[in-house]
Structure 1
Amino acid sequence: MKKQFIVALAIMVTAFSFAQKKELKSAEKAIKDSNYAEAKSLLTQVEPMLSSMNEDLKAQYYLLNAKALYANGSANNDDVAKALKSLGLVQGDLEVENQELRNTMLQSFVKKGNDAYESNDFSLSSKNFENAYRVSPQDTLYLYYAAATATGVQEYDRALVLYEELEELNYTGIETEYIAVNKETGVIEVFQSKNIRDISVKGGDFVKPSKRHTESKKAEIVKNMALIYTNKGDNEQALIAMTKAREANPDDLNLLISQANLYYKLGDTEKFKELLTIATERDPNNAELQFNLGVMSQDSGDIESAKKYYDRAIVLDPTDVNSKINMASMILNQEKALIQEMNGLGSSSADNKRYDELKLQRSEIYKSVIPYLEGVLVTDPANIEAATTLMNIYSATGDDKYKAMKATVESLGGN
């Protein structure tokens, strides 16, 4: 009786194994016929049998499941993630097929990522580059691309996760570039590989072969993380991230400026001024830094310092519209006190004399603003606010340019 039971059990196991193989065979045929929905349905029926499968059948199931889910590149992101998870479970003799599918997926995701980027669909580009990294985790550059493009379309939560992953990997993005000097142009050119560079040098068109390393992307990554934290209102994490970036790159001027701007956003104007002063000492010919110092001084009520910084910024960059507008606005703001005093005067001879003095001061204020507003219109001729203000000043000072400026304002759609 016992012998009969063992024989019956063996027959049942054999039949069960045969059914598994049959279902897998059917799923494989459906995939070859591009009938991925049918293949997924068949594999769903096989899934409860996994615990009883031998390792070879399990590997076959996971590979077929990945192919069905991937659907030759037409899968959505959720199915792609499931396909990659299934691929990760393929072991044994099917490792070659596993790698072949991974290579196919990688090429497809990279192409889709590049195509989407060229079409300015940065969200889709980011998702494809992330998928490329998930297929080939050693290619960390794709993870960086995914994070950077997600940041570009303000998908901050997702970008932050990707940046944090890059930081955990200690990603630097430093690459070796093989270069040589073009004999005809004298320009340094970068080659795709050392071998191509060497062949070009041997051909006689290039000289002075060498190599160089690209800059680390670590500072950029931490800076972007800090800015995202700031955007999310997590100021503590933002400061931690920026401090780490500065410690790792103490000589990076852009990081120093970013940290200063972060303190400014957080309302710590003293720290902002301290860091910005350090930055201007390192780069005294940076117009943007001078402008930022002007803004900070203006906000704190230090008008004389603000004028000095704005004027310096304009000298360094004559096209700096922002410094000119801020300077004009700040000077015109001094008119308010004069008008208030003028309105409070009586009709005595002393008051009339004081009124004339204030009126003269007001006229001088107008005249001192004119060069800045005219400078704005040289760089930005369509700036209707600057044109309107200038028209009113010309009118108040009796300047002959009034009529011409009035015509300009009307051409820009003003009254």
Structure 2
Amino acid sequence: MKTKFLILTAAMSFSAMSFAQKNEVKAADKALKSDNAAEAKAALEKAEPLLGSADAKTKALYYLVKGKTYSKLAKSGEEGAFKKSIAAFKDLIAYEEEVGKKKYTVEAKQAMTGMTGDIVNAAIKDNNEKKFDAGADKLYLAYNLSKKDTVYLFYAANSAVNAQNMEKALKYYNELKDINYDGSEVKYSAVNIATGEREEMAKSQRDLMVKSKQYKDPKEEKSPSRKAEIVKNIALIYTQLGEDEKALEAYKDARANNPSDVNLILNEANLQYKLGNKDKFKELMAEATRVDPNNPDLFYNIGVINMEQENIEEARAAYEKAIELNPGYVNAQLNLSTTYVNEGNGLIDAMNALGSSRADIAKYDELKAKKDGLFREGAQILEDALKQTPGNQALLSQLKNIYGALGDTENFMRLKKLLGE
């Protein structure tokens, strides 16, 4: 009798748990119908530990109410609620598939479809408030709810970049690449006769408005593909993350998509320079100048690398080309002047090594004249530069130092005065 009593007690306990679980789920359902999502959430939290003892009908209702509750909480701004809502609806669908009774499956699927717009609107709000990381998560969630809306994945990647979450952005961009996302679209527009303004609208609406004679001049414009932008961003992010070998492979892909993009060539060139491949850097920079021959920055950078490699004549030619394209290019003017000053300074050691013989004195005078000539050539470049950008402090300061090294007191004092010293 004692054993039977224990078994009966256990059965009664199990029944009580099941009854309590049903009550909490019903309470949650009732609170939700009364538009009290917070109360519904509290009831669901009480029901959750007892879920294992629930019957099939109660368990299915629990998942449905949970999905709806967190959907409502998400709309009111509760962080993470969208994910919990979707997870509950998916649990419901999987459970009803398992038990073979799909009472709420259609409703759950419709709820998730309808939620996509709410998630996107919440992501837009996050981005407007500069909560870019949260916005990226929501846009990615929206994409996974509606795989056909691949544009959400593209915007999720952009939001992750704005959040400076490069690992997340890279994941999203690689997904876009894997699904061969193009991103181009046709935009339909017509001119509103009353306002004279061109307006974009759906094709069917545009055609109807033109037919009604309220609009005229219908136009269809296809936006450019985003493939090149995606592979370019992948390469840039790999570079930023320090994954240089992957970055080089990504640049290869990116340039295959857009061989005339000079920025891609420059970015790869900078990476090659970072890796110590200076000859490859120069090769790429030369390619860039062929693609964009009127870009002074390209020639300036070619000048810098040649200057570092002590290819003085090549450096000067590049700086001169940069200045020809942009007469006010101060950095190019400073560096061009410096090439002459550096060459002059290179003679000083030879001068100091000479003795006091008549031949050495003659040699010294010869080298000094050459040094001073180089210094004056560097000074003249800066004097000419000041005609383009008078008062530039960097030009004035470097010019003052050259005159000081020359022992040209008159010009040295003139420059001091111009500098306000």
TM-score, length basis structure 1: 0.77
Q: CA deviation at 1:357?
A: 2.6
Query: 1:224 — aligned with what?
Result: 233
Q: For structure 2, which runs of at least 5 residues remain unmatched after alignment?
A: 1-11, 93-104
1:84 aligns with 2:86: yes
Query: 2:7 — aligned with what?
Result: none
Q: Distance in 2 between matches of 1:194 and 1:95?
A: 29
Query: 1:6 — aligned with what?
Result: none
Further displaced range: 256-265 or 189-198: 189-198
Residues 295 and 52 (structure 1 numbering): CA distance in 2 closer, same or farther, change over 3 Å? same
Map 1:241-252 to 2 at 5 A.
241-252=250-261
Further displaced range: 310-319 or 25-34: 25-34
Q: Which amino acid aligns with 2:252?
A: T
Q: CA deviation at 1:304?
A: 0.9
Q: Which amino acid aligns with 1:309?
A: A
Query: 2:24 — aligned with what?
Result: 23
Q: CA deviation at 1:109?
A: 2.1
Residues 162 and 379 (structure 1 numbering): CA distance in 2 closer, same or farther, change over 3 Å? farther
Alignment match of 2:64 (pick from 49, 56, 60): 60
Q: CA deviation at 1:88?
A: 3.9
Q: Distance in 1 between matches of 2:185 and 2:284?
A: 31
Alignment match of 1:157 (pick from 154, 167, 190): 167
Q: Is the 8 A contact 2:120 2:138 kept in 1?
A: no
Q: Is the 8 A contact 1:324 1:375 kept in 2?
A: no
Q: Distance in 2 between matches of 1:64 and 1:182?
A: 43
Q: Is the 8 A contact 1:171 1:218 kept in 2?
A: yes
Q: Distance in 2 between matches of 1:371 and 1:43?
A: 86
Q: CA deviation at 1:106?
A: 2.5
Q: CA deviation at 1:316?
A: 1.5
Q: Is the 8 A contact 2:68 2:85 kept in 1?
A: no
Alignment match of 2:292 (pick from 254, 274, 283): 283
Q: Distance in 1 between matches of 2:48 and 2:392?
A: 65
Aligned partner of residue 353 in structure 1, secondary structure: helix
Alignment match of 1:139 (pick from 146, 149, 169): 149
Q: Is the 8 A contact 1:112 1:128 kept in 2?
A: no
Map 1:232-271 to 2 at 5 A.
232-271=241-280
Query: 1:99 — aligned with what?
Result: 113
1:349 aligns with 2:358: yes
Q: Is the 8 A contact 2:51 2:59 kept in 1?
A: no
Q: CA deviation at 1:125?
A: 4.7
Q: Is the 8 A contact 1:223 1:258 kept in 2?
A: no
Alignment match of 1:313 (pick from 318, 322, 338): 322
The number of residue pairs the alignment matches comes to 392
Q: Distance in 1 between matches of 2:200 and 2:385?
A: 44
Residues 13 and 38 (structure 1 numbering): CA distance in 2 closer, same or farther, change over 3 Å? closer
Residues 64 and 122 (structure 1 numbering): CA distance in 2 closer, same or farther, change over 3 Å? closer
Residues 75 and 192 (structure 1 numbering): CA distance in 2 closer, same or farther, change over 3 Å? same
Residues 135 and 266 (structure 1 numbering): CA distance in 2 closer, same or farther, change over 3 Å? same
Deviations 1:141-194 (A, max 9, x none): 3322332343345322222112122222222221223356899xx9x9673544
Q: Give the % identical residues.
A: 34
Q: Is the 8 A contact 2:341 2:375 kept in 1?
A: yes
Q: Distance in 2 between matches of 1:378 and 1:203?
A: 61
Residues 39 and 221 (structure 1 numbering): CA distance in 2 closer, same or farther, change over 3 Å? farther
Q: CA deviation at 1:400?
A: 5.2
Residues 232 and 182 (structure 1 numbering): CA distance in 2 closer, same or farther, change over 3 Å? same
**RMSD across aligned positions (CA):** 3.9
Answer with 1 or 2: which has the greater Rg.
2
